[in-house]
Amino acid sequence: MKKLENKYDLIVYGSLNMDYVGYVDHLPEPGETVASNTFNIGPGGKAANQAVTASKLTAKTAMVGRVGDDHIGQVMKSELAQAGVDDDHVLISPGIQTGIAMVSVDQAGNNSIVTYKGANAVLKEEDVAHSLEKLKQAEGAVLQLEMDKQVGEYTIQMASRFRKKIILNLAPIVDLDSETLKLVDLLIVNEPESSFLSGIHVNSIDSAKEAAEIISKIGIDHIVITLGGAGAVFKTGDVVKHYPAPKVEVVDTTGAGDCFVGAVSFFWIRSGDLDAAVKHAVNVAALSVTKQGAITSLPSLEEYKQFIKEEELDFSKLNISENASQ
């Protein structure tokens, strides 16, 4: 059994954004102006969402990324700290604005997002190198690709060198070197991303299963294709499964994919059971869409326990202290 003291479950690498979210009756067509019924400002960014998800589920989590030397950057670091995420390697970039996302959400919870990378664009290999002591103490590394391609590839190579579990969310779509992709233990993609990798149009459970078979030929053992409200398809070895999402009242889907990534990483690291991890990450992501916002919608472990039937998940396998809380 691994020692938990002075160790990390997960190191998350990548983006931090402040989200500016307008809730509208419908998403605008090109050239159309739509009035927002409600407007919120809150922390987000793929990596930050994933790190906070894992932390709220009681993972010991650290993050590596960059913010600007502005008020938004100070708020982002504060939000991470409040969520229990180690932000020692969330660096401040002088003279650069913190990344932002402009989000529109319609009445069905669907969203349209425009991002500005800001400080996320200046994350360097040196920043990753300076965080290697934390990586050495971690069980797994999580990353997406809202960063320079070379930085992403370097991060994967370092995590592989130290024999860490590598969870890659190939978002946004980046044409990574195939040899680097082979180092990934768990690849998580959505429908457009899996379409890019497989060369087929993924728009259903069956096409997702076909795409997973094709993608596996790259040399990746474990693949998840997320399907929004339809759940997720999971391929491991010769087995391909579909896990449907529970029916919920959808309020806002912003950050749901990131929530899935953080949750599946947490459950896998803690239990060692990837199949069960995928099943329960689908549930956690579904719970997240019942609230507004990105980080503000991410559920705690206690909220998740209340959401599902206790007997569906053996929490004794997750190595969670009874008094653990975030």
Q: What is the pLDDT of residues 38-95, one digit of tens each?
A: 998 989 999 999 999 999 999 999 999 999 999 999 999 999 999 999 999 999 999 9
Instruction: Please name which of 88, 81, 57, 268 lies closest in space to residue 164, comparing C-alpha atoms.
Output: 268
Q: Which tops the pLDDT comparison, 66 or 295?
A: 66
> Which pLDDT score, from 0 to 100, does residue 317 have?
60
Q: How confident is the model at residue 263 (pLDDT cuts 50, 70, 90)?
A: very high
Residue range 270-297: mean pLDDT, rounded: 92
> 44 or 129: which carries more pLDDT confidence?
129
In a domain, 1, yes or no: no
Inside any domain, residue 272: yes
The pLDDT of residue 269 is above 60: yes
Contact 256, 113 (CB under 8 A): no
Residues forming a β-bridge with 21: 40, 103
> How confident is the model over 145-166, as a mean pLDDT?
96
- Report the pLDDT value the prediction gives residue 4, as an integer from 0 to 100: 41
Position 315 scores a pLDDT of 61
Average pLDDT for residues 266-281, to the nearest whole number? 93
Gap between the Cα atoms of 94 and 321, Å rounded: 40
pLDDT of the residue at 169:
97
CATH of the domain at 170: 3.40.1190.20
Q: Is residue 182 in a domain?
A: yes
Centre a 10 Å sphere on the Cβ of residue 308 and count the other Cβ atoms it contains: 14
pLDDT for the residue numbered 108: 87
What is the mean pLDDT of the segment spanning 85-108? 95
Mean pLDDT for the stretch of residues 284-312: 85
Of 294 and 74, the one with more pLDDT: 74
Q: Is residue 246 part of a domain?
A: yes
Q: What is the domain extent for residue 91? A: 8-26+37-318
- Is there a domain that residue 74 lies in? yes
Query: What's the CA gap between 233 and 194, in Å, rounded?
Result: 11
**325 within domain boundaries:** no
For residue range 192-249, what is the model confidence (pLDDT) as tens digits?
999 999 999 999 999 999 999 999 999 999 999 999 999 999 999 999 999 999 999 9
Whole-number mean pLDDT of the chain?
A: 91
Q: Which residue, among 199, 200, 148, 201, has the nearest Cα to 176 in the 3D structure?
A: 148
Work out how many domains the chain is built from and give that number. 1
Q: Which comes out higher in pLDDT, residue 72 or 254?
A: 72
Q: In Å, how far are 28, 175, 206, 306 from 49, measured between CA atoms? A: 26, 23, 29, 21
Residue 265 lies in a domain: yes
The neighbour count for residue 117, using CB atoms within 10 Å, is: 18
Can you tell me the distance from the alpha carbon of 241 to that of 251, in angstroms, rounded to the nearest whole number? 27
* Catalytic machinery residues: 258
**Can you tell me the distance from the alpha carbon of 305 to that of 284, in angstroms, rounded to the nearest whole number?**
10
pLDDT for 312: 55
Tokens of 218: 């790259």
| pLDDT cut 90: percent of the chain above it | 79
Task: Report the C-alpha gap between 189 and 170 in whole angstroms.
Answer: 6
Query: What's the pLDDT score for residue 320?
Result: 57
- Burial label, 189 (beta-carbon count in 10 A; 0-12, 13-18, 19+): buried
With respect to residue 159, please indicate whether it lies within any of the assigned structural domains: yes
Q: Which tops the pLDDT comparison, 314 or 274?
A: 274
- What per-residue confidence (pLDDT) applies to 110? 86
CB atoms within 10 A of CB 182: 13
- pTM equals 0.91
